[in-house]
Chains A and B, each alone.
Chain A
Amino acid sequence: MSTEQKELTLNMGPQHPSTHGVLRVIVTLDGERVIKARPVIGYLHTGIEKTMESKLYYKALPCTDRMDYLAPMSNNLGFCLAVEKLMEIEVPEKVKWARVCLAELTRLNSHLVWLGTHALDLGAMSMLLYAFRDRELIIDVYEACGGQRMMTSYIRIGGLSHDLPPDFEKKVRRIIKEIPAKLNDYETLLTNNEIFINRTRDVAVISAEDAINYGLSGPMLRGSGVKHDLRKASPYSGYENFDFEVPVGSKGDAYDRYKLRLEEMRQSLRIIEQALDGMPEGPYRAHVPGVVLPPKEDVLYKMESMIFHFKIITDGFKSPKGAVYQGIESPKGELGFYISSDGSNKPNRVRVRPPSFVNLAALPKLTEGGMFSDVVCAIGSIDIVLGEVDR
């Protein structure tokens, strides 16, 4: 009998319960050890960037919801900020504070889903049920705001689609009150859980230098100890007014990233509380006739507003020639929108810098040399959303 060593090539995905969607990884194995891991993407390619080119700015917005569908408000925010930069629109203070509040709720939402699915991949089934149970609190707020559970398109160019609902504060206060206790529950279940530690400690390690060289961002970068957060580095939407910490990891393994994301959720709650306490009064949309939609109440009773409303919906607005880039700190990392305009009412080119896509490129680095079962842990701890990777 021959004892010759042979490499084995395995195909994982695109239908696999723990690839978080339709990712495919071609893994070359030597026994249980991974020699090569190559992610194959494109199974969810939707042509979102191309679709946005053929739509008016307002009508391109709903496409952004469907990229990172776990953090729709962050995507809305990124796109709106980019268009506002292009059109030089200054939004009212209330809008800024409300946006920060919603963006942080989105971070909670995204991290909760991440926590549930990541723990499920590692064998902790009940975490998924807990995380999805608690996520409903946030989904309720979305629904009250935008009338939809996930694809809200609530943040619009120049403001919000409606005023904040009357019970917004009550609902968000409930989240602030209840989630910290739930986070402690998760910690009891996972942080000192021997199985969880064994599956994540020293697994999928990436050094700070490599993380920077790969262009990683978000928890993937901070987990390796690099303190870089766009909310601090180049504040947008009034983040400079908020007091919060940027947690960092030390070793850059999956366990560090787990601890870091939990801490980020606590910091998000802090920001949400400050945003609620300091929420100024005022209009929920900027007053820029011909560019920003007039408030719905005016459309019903004022002639000019109705005409502007009609013009904007049918023709959109002409944008000045030029190009802008706006990056925001989405739950997964730096989400950037590059919009190039040729002076017409549609964007000439929209390029999205998706954090998941860039972070996924580090998958070979994270998994090669490790055990095969840790590939699942690495994919989970990158926190990818295939809708954003493939767009």
Chain B
Amino acid sequence: MGLEEKIPDSIILTTLDKMVNWSHKRSMWPFGFGLACCAIEMISSFSPHFDLARFGMEVMRPSPRQADLMIVAGRVSMKMAPVVKTLYEQMPNPKWVISMGACASSGGVFNNYAILQGVDRIIPVDVYVPGCPPRPEQLIEGILTLQKKLEGESVKDVRDEWGRRST
């Protein structure tokens, strides 16, 4: 078209979607919120040995108001379930959820009266990370999978009250 030749080098043309997704992807702030055993592996993945900061994830936010990624790390008991739901609702849109470990994904070995059989019964989950507990590498892989998933999102998406793209 010849338009690109006219603009100076300091200007890059892109689409709004690409720009927004890129920034979401590279500055995702996880909610520092641990429930059980998986929380220790979650801290391990932030620790020097595995260093999640390499993927733009180093800022753990202790408050849900400043976070956009919830990592449900550990078993969710019936008493904790309403709390988890409240915390999720307190997070600003857009937001994503990783269910870390067997317990959060499906109840794991605890198929009993006390444990919620999968956190997806109360909040929507984007990525499930298997393992009991998952290795830090697995969690990192889960986060990278989520980052890939983000690339398909668009600012024009209609979102429901839970901040999810309605299909």
Contact = CB atoms under 8 A, between A and B. Distances in A.
Contact of B40 (A17, A113, A133): A113
Contacts of B44: 132, 135-136, 139
B77 interface: yes
A45 B79 contact: yes
Given A14-B83, A149-B41, A51 B48 contact: no
Interface stretch (A62-70, A154-162, A226-234): A62-70
Contact of A51 (B34, B64, B110): B110
Interface string B107-151: 001101111000000000000000011010000000000000000
A316 B160 CA distance: 52
A51 B103 CA distance: 15
Interface string B59-72: 00010100000000
B29 interface: no
> Which of B32, B62, B74, B113 has the most CB atoms of chain A within a 10 A radius of its CB?
B74
B25 interface: no
A45 B49 contact: no
Nearest to B61: A17
Contacts of A133: 47-49
B36 A21 contact: yes
Contact of B80 (A22, A70, A136, A387): A22
Interface residues of B, number: 33
Interface in A36-75: 42-48, 50-51, 62-63, 66, 69-70
A150 B133 contact: yes
B80 A46 contact: no
B75 interface: yes
A149 B135 contact: yes
Interface residues on A, range: 20 to 34
Contact of A150 (B32, B40, B115): B40
A15 B36 contact: no
A269 B73 CA distance: 32
Contacts, number: 92
Contacts of B110: 46-48, 51
A66 B36 contact: yes
Contacts of A386: 36
Contacts of B80: 14, 22, 43-44
Contacts of B64: 15
B115 A43 contact: no
A139 B44 CA distance: 11
Contacts of A16: 62
A50 B80 CA distance: 19
Contact of A46 (B34, B40, B75, B133): B75
Contact of B36 (A51, A62, A69): A69
A236 to B, nearest CB: 26
Interface in A333-391: 386-387, 390
B87 A15 contact: yes
Contacts of A51: 109-110, 112
A69 B37 contact: yes
A50 B74 CA distance: 19
Interface of A: 14-17, 21-22, 42-48, 50-51, 62-63, 66, 69-70, 113, 128-129, 132-133, 135-136, 139, 149-151, 386-387, 390
25 contacts: A15-B83, A17-B32, A21-B34, A22-B80, A22-B83, A43-B77, A43-B79, A45-B78, A46-B110, A46-B112, A46-B114, A46-B115, A47-B110, A48-B110, A50-B112, A50-B114, A66-B36, A66-B109, A69-B36, A70-B40, A128-B43, A129-B47, A150-B40, A151-B133, A390-B77
Question: What 3 pairs across the A-B complex have the smallest Cβ distances?
Answer: A132-B47, A47-B114, A69-B37
Given A44-B74, A45-B78, A390-B77, 19 more contacts: A17-B62, A22-B35, A22-B80, A22-B83, A42-B79, A43-B80, A43-B83, A44-B75, A46-B115, A47-B110, A47-B114, A62-B109, A66-B109, A128-B47, A129-B48, A135-B44, A149-B135, A386-B36, A387-B36
